[in-house]
Amino acid sequence: MTIKLTRRAALSAAAALPFASAAVPAFAAGEPSKANSTIAKSFQVGDFTVTTLLDGSVPRDEPKALFAAEVSDDEFAAVSAENFIPTDIAQFFFTPTLVHTGSELVLFDTGLGQGGIQAALADVGVSPDQIDVVVITHMHPDHIGGMTTNDSPTFANARFVTAAPEYNFWSAMDAGNRVGDMVAAKVTPQAEKMTFLDDGGEVTSGITAMAAHGHTPGHTVYHLESNGQRLVLTADLANHYVWSFARPEWPFSFDMDAAAATASRRNVLGMLAADKIPMIGYHMPFPAAGYVETRGEGFRFVPVSYQMMG
For 40-91, the pLDDT digits (tens) are 999 999 999 999 999 999 999 999 999 999 999 999 999 999 999 999 999 9
Please report whether residue 59 resides in a domain: yes
* Segment 186-198 mean pLDDT: 97
Please report whether residue 75 resides in a domain: yes
Cα–Cα separations (whole angstroms), residue 258 to 64, 75, 199, 217, 281:
16, 20, 20, 11, 19
Nearest Cα residue to 136 out of 49, 52, 212, 221: 221
Q: Which domain holds residue 270?
A: 40-303
The span from the CA of 148 to the CA of 243, in Å, is: 33
Query: 10 Å Cβ neighbour count for 285?
Result: 17
Quick: pLDDT tens for 281-302.
Answer: 999 999 999 999 999 999 999 9
Q: Is 103 exposed, middle or buried (0-12, 13-18, 19+ CB in 10 A)?
A: exposed
**Kindly report the CA angle at 32 between 20 and 112, in degrees rounded to 5?**
45
Please report whether residue 23 resides in a domain: no
CATH number of the domain that residue 231 is part of = 3.60.15.10
Quick: pLDDT tens for 193-224.
Answer: 999 999 999 999 999 999 999 999 999 999 99
What is the model's pTM? 0.89
Number of domains the chain is built from: 1
Total number of residues shown for the chain: 310
Please report whether residue 127 resides in a domain: yes
Please report whether residue 24 resides in a domain: no
The span from the CA of 247 to the CA of 187, in Å, is: 34
Work out the pLDDT band at 310, boundaries 50, 70, 90: low
Please report whether residue 118 resides in a domain: yes
Hey, what long-range contacts does 271-274 have (CB within 8 A, 24 or more apart)?
A: 271/232, 272/232, 272/234, 273/299
> Cα dihedral sign for 37, 58, 161, 271?
positive
% the chain with pLDDT above 70: 90
Does residue 1 carry a pLDDT above 70?
Answer: no
pLDDT at 7 (0 to 100): 37
Query: 10 Å Cβ neighbour count for 159?
Result: 17
Q: Give the list of residues 6+ apart from residue 127 with CB closer than 8 angstroms, or none.
A: 27, 121
Nearest Cα residue to 36 out of 223, 285, 306: 306
pLDDT at 30 (0 to 100): 53
Please report whether residue 20 resides in a domain: no
**Kindly report the CA angle at 202 between 252 and 216, in degrees rounded to 5?**
20
The span from the CA of 117 to the CA of 145, in Å, is: 10
SS3 category, 52: strand
Quick: pLDDT tens for 9-46.
Answer: 333 333 333 223 323 333 334 577 888 989 999 999 99
Please report whether residue 46 resides in a domain: yes
pLDDT at 32 (0 to 100): 79
Cα–Cα separations (whole angstroms), residue 7 to 14, 58, 82, 90, 267:
11, 12, 21, 10, 36
Averaged pLDDT score across all residues of the chain: 91
Query: 10 Å Cβ neighbour count for 306?
Result: 5
% the chain with pLDDT above 90: 86
